[in-house]
Amino acid sequence: MRRIFTAHTLCFIAACLFLAGCSTYQFVTPTANWQTLVGQLLYSSPKRTIIGETVVTRMNDDQFQLDFMTGPGLSILKLRKDGARGRAEAAFARVSWQGNADHPPGPLKSWLALHQIFTAIAALHGPATHAELHSEKQGFWTATAQLVDGKPVEVKIEFPASKERFFFHFGR
């Protein structure tokens, strides 16, 4: 007996084959040679203020990860950047994004800019105990960092246009 496939069935099969060929980019898992900072983060915007634990890891100038959580294991945001690829997952809000990290959607622009800021802080050399940093794009962000033994212990970042502020406090 011959079966006749409907247009709907053929479209379904084509979609399944297309999606099977797509894969989600696998971001690198940090290893011992990554720079890791563990502490607290206070994030504030005109709509909300959130305080939680954070882990910031970076390797060289192209790999960056930030985990922001509250309570025992309740994730607020997981941010990953590997070169031009970026991903953000807000598990609590059931929202995720993956795409070009140089052109993120509006609400993620400041979060993905944190990579640039922490890379600039890591590039500081010498006995500096305080640093003031500014974005290459004039007025996008400003940051101050308190350093002990070359490592940041407090980082304050402001994004004037979006009125977002980040205050990181890291243990030594």
Least-confidence region, from 6-10, 39-43, 79-83, 131-135: 6-10
Is 44 within the bounds of a domain? yes
Q: Is the pLDDT of residue 85 over 70?
A: yes
Is 61 within the bounds of a domain? yes
pLDDT of residue 7: 41
How many distinct helices (H) and strands (E) make up the chain? 2, 10
Is 2 within the bounds of a domain? no
Q: Is the pLDDT of residue 3 over 80?
A: no
**Region 62-91 average pLDDT:** 89
Is 29 within the bounds of a domain? no
Q: Look at residue 153 and give its three-state secondary structure.
A: strand
| CATH code: domain of residue 137 | 2.50.20.10
Is 86 within the bounds of a domain? yes
Domain that holds residue 165: 35-170
User: What's the pLDDT band for 4 if we cut at 50, 70, 90?
Assistant: very low
Mean confidence (pLDDT) of the chain: 82
User: What's the pLDDT band for 132 if we cut at 50, 70, 90?
Assistant: very high
pLDDT digits (tens, 9 = 90+) for 135-160: 999 999 999 999 998 899 999 999 99
Is 16 within the bounds of a domain? no
Is 112 within the bounds of a domain? yes
**Region 22-28 average pLDDT:** 58
Q: What's the total number of domains in the chain? A: 1
CA–CA distances in Å: residue 82 to residues 121, 130, 138, 155: 18, 28, 25, 22
Q: Is the pLDDT of residue 120 over 80?
A: yes
User: What's the pLDDT band for 128 if we cut at 50, 70, 90?
Assistant: confident
**Region 33-53 average pLDDT:** 92
User: Shortest CA distance to 116 belongs to which of 149, 79, 171, 76?
Assistant: 79
Is 127 within the bounds of a domain? yes
Q: Look at residue 163 and give its three-state secondary structure.
A: coil
